[in-house]
Every structure is written in structure tokens, then in C-alpha cells.
Amino acid sequence: MSINVVSESLISTLPGSTYVDEAVFRAEQERIFEQMWFCAVRAADLDKPGAFRTVQVGRESIIITRNRKHGIRAFYNICRHRGVKLCMEDAGEAARSFQCPYHAWTYDFDGKLIAAPNLTKMPDIDRQEYGLVTIPVREYLGYVWVCLAETPPSFEEDVMGDIQERLGDTQAIEGYDIANLSLGRRITYDVKANWKLIIENFMECYHCATIHPELTEVLPEFADGLAAQYFVGHGAEFGDDVRGFTIDGSEGLDKLPGVDDDHDRRYYAITVKPTVFVNLVPDHVIIHRMFPLAPDHTVVECDWLYLPSVVDSGKDVSTSVELFHRVNQQDFDACERCQPAMNSKIYAKGGVLVPSEHHIGAFHDWITDKVGDVVGTAPPRSSGTGPQHLFPGGDHDEH
């Protein structure tokens, strides 16, 4: 495997204010989370018409549900009458419709206004026009993606493009058949840190030998911390004595049948901007979805996905869950340790990236392109932040 050469010089990071300033976070909400495709819910969580989940996307609360024909629909969680929030729960099941708790305006699962007090006496009200405001949706990898932009960007270029950039082509992920896997475990983490710190942590492995002893036992090359220098398509290989991607390296669960020999005994991670991590191993897939709620507060929902036969049989998945759960705890603890320093005068101009982290500079350039005018004090940056064939994601990846 060839390795790219990275400049030995240090480069500057984003300034500390980027991680704490309310104006920067508002700009990120408006220009990033509300303009890009956002991975909102797992489609299987909406198992019947009327089943719904509410999610926060940027500054907006969104309802995602199924209509009577089992199609996925998404709406702003706002009554068209006086702006009351329709659904206060994170998840639930509406029996027949969504009804506003204030004045009882009522909407069907396609968002149409179907009832309201004295509605028949108000013939000028168009029931479609005054229905819930619909949001574009796409289903991919078994998840529902929404986009709040007036003109959504290309899903193929943005979402699938990040996967292609990391793996070399989108076909490489198809063998894992993620959409047809079953949920074996879900853990939600409440992280008191800025979302960008979590992304940056996931993108490098300079820290792996320091805080991830269990992970480096399973993936020995991560102990070198040189993850940034591998070409696209490389997967970290299991150690010689490792039998599975488990907390103790013991045998894993049933291998996904579409994983070929080239991808067997390897770990791949992908960052899909802005807030998704996809982790691939031979017998399961781990999906992280981030929900940035404040400059110093991010909720991360993490799903462990297995073959349906594994979940249905009740097989014990704890040894495979425990490995990445422990990695998550170690990572989020590190991010929470970083967060207070972002407000320090010592970090006002930021820090530095060492050669094995230079690809994070590309992420910082992307952030600067989106909100640099609001940051204002961002130091001059160079787009030449490392090799041209770097991966767009992976804390525990070869980035």
C-alpha cells in the first residue's frame, strides 16, 4: 500500500471562538444543517402509518412520519394557524392524524388540513395551502435524510459523494446491505462539546494509542497514529490474533454475506458531512448521527446494526457493542475536556495540527468557506492541507 507524503510543517487550526460563539453556531445552523442533507431517523423506527419521530435540524423542529401508503413524509413541526408546536414528544404514534393542542387544527399524515373548529364556515381556507409545510426526504442506507434548503443540493454528489470519496466507489458499501440490517443496540450520548470537536476527533488517529487501548489491540495499525496518510479505499486490518471486532478480540457474530474477501477482517469509517459517521466491519455496521443543539452541546445517537437473523435469535451482541461503546466514551470524554479551553485567551488564535492531522485542515477550510465571515478572526489558511487522496472521515479511520 503506497503512502502519501505529508509536509512536516505545522498548520494552524480554527480559532477557539469558532467552538463557543453563539453567532458562529447560528450561522452553522442556517448555512450547514439547514442547507445540507441531514440524516434524521432510522426508517425502521417508523414501522406503521402515524408512527413519528421529532428531530431538531438546525433551528427547526421536524416531524417525520409514514402516511397511509407507508411513504415517508417530513414536515415542520409547526401548526399553520398560530405557530404552536404540534408534537412535543421525541417519538410516538398518532392514531388518525396530527392535532394541534391549542385550537385543534388537524392534519392528515400527508400534511393536509382536514379539520378545525368552524372550518366549514371558512370556505376561503385552502386545505392544501394551509397544510403542514412539507420537507424533501430521501431514504438511503436505511435512514431518512431531510433537507430544509429551498433548493436541496444533489444527494448523489453530497451524501453519496462523501462515501465514494472515502471508499473509492459507492458499490463498496453496497455489500454491507445496511438498509436491510436490524437494530441490535442503540445508545444515545449527551456530549457537552461542540459538534466540530467530535468530527475532528473522529477524523484522526493521532490520539488512538493514548486513549483507545482496546481499539488498538484489535486494529494495531491505529497505534501508529498515521491514519491520515493512507490512500482512499484502505481499511484498517485486524490484528493477527484477533478473531472479531469485539472488546476482547473474540469471535464476532454472523458475517454479512455481501462482504467479500477484500473487505473481510478490515474496519472502514466514513464521515458524511455534516453529522454522520458510518463504521463498517465484517459482521456489523455502526452508525453515528449527531444533533448539534448548542455551541457546547451535541447529542449523538449511535446504532449497532446486525443481520436480522442475529437480532431475531436473541444472540448476545454485548461484546461487539462494548468495543465501540467504550471508544465512544473515551472520545466524548476527550472532546468534553477540550471544550472549556476553547474559551481560553490562550486558545484565542487556535492551536496547531501535526502532520498526521493535516487532513483536518481540509475540514477547517470547509467550515471557513461556510461561516468564515462570521468567525472574523480566523487566521489565514491554506487549502494545501495534505495529500489529495485523503478520506473525508473516520475517528478510528485511516485518516
Residue 398 has pLDDT above 60, yes or no: no
Would the pLDDT of 399 be above 90? no
Q: What pLDDT does 378 receive?
A: 43
Using alpha carbons, select from 107, 49, 119 the residue that is nearest to residue 80.
107
Residues 203-243 pLDDT 10s: 999 999 999 999 999 999 999 876 543 558 889 999 999 99
Q: How far apart are the first and last CA of the chain?
A: 14
Q: What is the overall mean pLDDT for the chain?
A: 90
For 118-133, what is each residue's pLDDT tens digit? Answer: 888 888 888 889 999 9
User: How many angstroms separate the Cα of 55 from the Cα of each of 60, 292, 324?
Assistant: 8, 11, 24
- What integer pLDDT is reported at residue 393 of this predicted model? 36
Q: Residue 359: its pLDDT value, please?
A: 81
Residues 96-101, mean pLDDT to the nearest whole number: 96
What pLDDT shows up at residue 188?
Answer: 98
Of 263, 59, 48, residue with least CA distance to 148: 59
Residue 395 in this model has a pLDDT that exceeds 60: no
Checking if the pLDDT of 265 tops 60, the result is yes
Digit-coded pLDDT (tens) for 73-85: 999 999 999 999 9
pLDDT (0 to 100) of residue 356: 81
- Residue 8 banded pLDDT, cuts 50, 70, 90: low
The confidence score (pLDDT) of residue 227 equals 58
Average of per-residue pLDDT across 278-299: 98
State the DSSP string of 270-330: EEETTTEEEEEETTEEEEEEEEEEETTEEEEEEEEEE-HHHHHTT---HHHHHHHHHHHHH
- What residue type is assigned to position 53 of the chain? R
At a CB cut-off of 8 Å and minimum separation 6, what does 202 contact?
269, 271, 277, 288, 331, 393, 394, 395, 396, 397
- Per-residue pLDDT, 380: 42
pLDDT given for residue 70 in this prediction: 97
Given this model, what pLDDT does residue 376 score?
67
Of the chain, the percentage scoring pLDDT greater than 90 comes to 80
Predicted local confidence at residue 189, as pLDDT: 98
The H or E element that residue 156 is part of is helix 155-167
> How far is it, in rounded angstroms, from Cα 109 to Cα 128?
12
Q: Is the pTM here over 0.85, yes or no? A: yes
pLDDT of 383: 39
* pLDDT tens for each residue of 355-389: 888 889 989 999 999 999 998 644 444 433 333 33
Distance CA 194, CA 342 (A): 10
Q: Identify the band that residue 304 occupies on the pLDDT scale cut at 50, 70 and 90.
A: very high
List, for residues 355-364, the tens digit of each pLDDT value. Answer: 888 889 989 9
Averaged over 167-191, what is the pLDDT?
96
Any idea which of 147-156, 213-222, 308-317, 387-396 has the lowest mean pLDDT? 387-396
Q: Give dist(CA 54, CA 62) in Å, integer.
A: 5
Q: What is the mean pLDDT of residues 183-193?
A: 98
Q: Is the pLDDT of residue 175 over 70?
A: yes
- Chain Cα centroid distance, residue 211: 22
What one-character DSSP code corresponds to residue 389?
Answer: T
Residue 7, pLDDT above cutoff 60: no
Give the domains, in start order, of the chain with CATH numbers: 8-34+168-375 (3.90.380.10), 36-151 (2.102.10.10)
User: How would you list the strands of the sheet with 38-42, edge to edge?
Assistant: 38-42, 143-146, 137-140
At 368, is the secondary structure helix, strand, or coil? helix
Q: How many CB atoms lie within 10 A of CB 129?
A: 9
Q: What is the mean pLDDT of residues 159-166?
A: 94
- As a whole number of angstroms, the distance between CA 356 and CA 397 comes to 12
What's residue 15's pLDDT?
96
